[in-house]
Amino acid sequence: MGALLLTVVGALLIASFIEVRATTLRLASERLAGLTQQLGVLFAASGPTQRAGIAAVASQPGVIAFARTKAPTRKQRDSALSDLRRVATSPEQVLATELRDADGNVLLSTDEKAGLEKVPIRDVLPRTEPGDSAVIGTFRLLRDTIIYAVAGAVKGSDNTYVVRWRRVTMNPRTREGLDRLFGTFGTPYLGNPGGSTWVDFVKQVPAPPFDYASKAPVQVYRRDGQEYLAAMRVLPGTPWSLAVDVPMNKVLAPAYAFMWRYSLLGLVALLVALTAASIFTSRLTRPLVKLSDAARGIAEGDFSREVRIDRADELGELGYAFAAMATEVQNTRDNLERKVNERTADLNTAMTQLKDAQESLVRRERLALLGQLASGVGHELRNPLGVMTNSVYYLRTVLAAQPKNIHEYLDIMQQQIALSEKIVGDLLDFTRSKPPVRQATSIGDVCAAQIARMGSMNGVQVESSLNGGLPAVYADSSQVGQIVLNLLTNAVQAIGGPGRIVLRTQVDTDRLHLDVADTGPGVPAQNAEKIFEPLFTTKARGIGLGLAVSRTLARANGGDLVLTTGALSGATFRLTLPLAPRGAA
């Protein structure tokens, strides 16, 4: 009961934690996406203001006059500098305002010592936007300061631009807005998408490891060995990206707090339930122990134990019924012992008669098997011997003439004689048991010898991948040769014409497997096990002993022979033999 309660409480706790965790992640992702959108709107609002400020400076008379004059006077230069120093918003963020040509060369600057002339500016010059619109550039690092450029064309000039350099700093108003939005929930970042220049509005930081190819609004990544939930969006009108991330442990803190709180409550509930269950089961099991002891005594033949349960409930009724049952069982046992003694003599007589009938049935089955063997042998040997007799008669008749087909009839005699030898050999192997003489044997040499022994195979080609590099098997070479010969003969007969036989091996830790596959019609599924039974055959010729003898010989040598699945369309037989131990002769 305790294990069951613990399982139920644990399952409910795990399911609740999974649901709370998923809900927490969903709400945190929604809040993070919303905060990123609000912050993006806040920063995107500064873009039009900065572009408008550059456009206003580019329209000043002093700037226009300086840009149109090839050799401006000192007065024109001072007037242009006065116009360039006009800053509408956040003057503390402006490093310098410059006039540059289309190649980026500085023509005039409000701060010639800032070193800005060495900073690349090809992302904003020359200007490619239509009209008088300004361009906001990417972040750059000037010594230890993050800066960016805002550039706009001087009105009426095609090759002169106003470039204002601003540093990335946090003014009090922006900081107040960020604190109001985020509090301690997350950290905002601003930088170039896919670039290395990012800032957390206080200092430069490494670029967040975002998957920029992903379209998901919220991602999960690892940084500095910690997992973060993060959101990113590109600020419209700028080349910048805004990112906000929050540590995953802070996101999941409510879920873990829920888990520990409810784990404690579940443990308390489990202890209370186990205490109540212990009290209840103790009151219930005491009479059951009495019944169990009495039942054990009855099973051992002791009917003297009495069961007294003085209760007015179901257990009391059970004790009364058990006592009545014990008395009835004792009476029944006495009657059974008496009847058993009476029937024992009759049973001995019946067993003797049954044994005699069984022996008679075995003798009849053996006689029927011997008769079937004799019939098969007589029928199968008569045909090849008749063919040989006719061939010999023909050869004797025409020997003097020496016909051209004399070798054909000699081949016929050789095939029929070999068939007769196989039939006789199968009968002898099946009827007598010869223990194998096991030794280290080369399976490649055995297969090569049996292929050569087959001679002409009616157009069947044998493909063998066996070579001298195979490990030796521990078996009787003559018996293994007989198995291989039977498999080759069956394959040739199954193909019945041109075809292929493939021999392949596979070596395991202590076994070697030889597969003999053919392109014949294969073995029907219903005959997969019957083909190894003695006298079972589906061919017009043969007595059905080849595979039975082959499996017997394989198992006698510590292996096995089975029908398996191969790469060819026909049947595949696998012969498994043990590998020879080291030092075996």
Overall average pLDDT of the 154-173 stretch: 80
65-84, pLDDT tens digit by residue? 898 888 889 999 999 999 88
Residue 341 has pLDDT above 50, yes or no: yes
Going by pLDDT thresholds of 50, 70 and 90, the confidence category of residue 367 is very low
252-292, pLDDT tens digit by residue? 888 888 888 888 888 888 788 778 877 777 776 777 676 67
Query: Three-state SS for 459?
Result: coil
405-456, pLDDT tens digit by residue? 665 665 666 666 666 666 655 555 555 557 889 999 999 999 999 988 887 7
23-32, pLDDT tens digit by residue? 888 888 888 8
Residue 194 has pLDDT above 60, yes or no: yes
For 196, phi then psi, to 5°, come to -105, -5
148-158, pLDDT tens digit by residue? 899 988 887 77
Chain centroid, CA 574 distance in Å? 30
Number of alpha carbons in the 13 Å side-chain half-sphere of residue 177: 15
pLDDT value of position 511: 94
32-63, pLDDT tens digit by residue? 888 888 777 777 777 888 888 888 888 899 99
Residue 18 has pLDDT above 80, yes or no: yes
Going by pLDDT thresholds of 50, 70 and 90, the confidence category of residue 378 is low
459-518, pLDDT tens digit by residue? 888 988 887 788 999 999 999 999 999 999 888 888 888 999 999 999 998 999 999 999
pLDDT value of position 319: 67
553 vs 379: CA distance, rounded Å: 26
Top mean pLDDT of 60-64, 181-185, 205-209 is at 60-64
Beta strand ranges found along 61-182 (DSSP E): 94-101, 106-109, 135-136, 140-142, 145-153, 160-167
- Whether the CB-CB separation of 431 and 534 falls below 8 Å is answered with no
pLDDT value of position 457: 79
Beta bridge partners of 577: 512
425 vs 546: CA distance, rounded Å: 9
Overall average pLDDT of the 127-150 stretch: 79
Which residue segments constitute the domains of the chain, with CATH numbers given? 46-167 (3.30.450.20), 435-578 (3.30.565.10)
Strand (E) or helix (H) holding 326: helix 314-398
293-338, pLDDT tens digit by residue? 777 766 666 666 666 666 666 666 666 666 667 677 777 777 877 7
Mean confidence (pLDDT) of the chain: 79
- Expressed in angstroms, the distance from the first to the final Cα of the chain is 65
Going by pLDDT thresholds of 50, 70 and 90, the confidence category of residue 363 is very low
Question: Strand 460-464 relative to strand 473-475: parallel, antiparallel, unpaired?
Answer: unpaired
CB under 8 Å to 221, separation ≥6 — which residues?
A: 208, 209, 210, 211, 227, 228, 230, 245
pLDDT value of position 484: 93
Residue 359 has pLDDT above 70, yes or no: no
207 vs 212: CA distance, rounded Å: 12
Q: What is the pTM of this model?
A: 0.44
Going by pLDDT thresholds of 50, 70 and 90, the confidence category of residue 536 is low
